Amino acid sequence: MEENMRDELRTLVGTLRSQITKPCDSSIESDDRVNRDYIDQTINDIRLMLVNKTLELQERIKNARPFEDDFHYETKIRAYRNLLEIAESLLIGMQQSFEETLDHYRQFIDRIWNDIVTNEGMNVDNLVNNYSFYLNTIMNNTWVKYFEAVEQRLIEISAI
Which of 97, 86, 85, 83 shows the shortest CA–CA distance to 157?
Answer: 83
The yes-or-no verdict on residue 23 having pLDDT over 50 is no
Structure confidence at residue 65 (pLDDT): 93
Q: What is the CA radius of gyration of the chain?
A: 21
pLDDT digits (tens, 9 = 90+) for 40-60: 777 777 778 778 878 888 898
pLDDT digits (tens, 9 = 90+) for 92-120: 887 788 888 888 888 888 888 888 888 88
Structure confidence at residue 69 (pLDDT): 94
Helix, strand, coil percentages in the chain from 3-state DSSP, rounded to 5:
90, 0, 10
pTM: 0.60
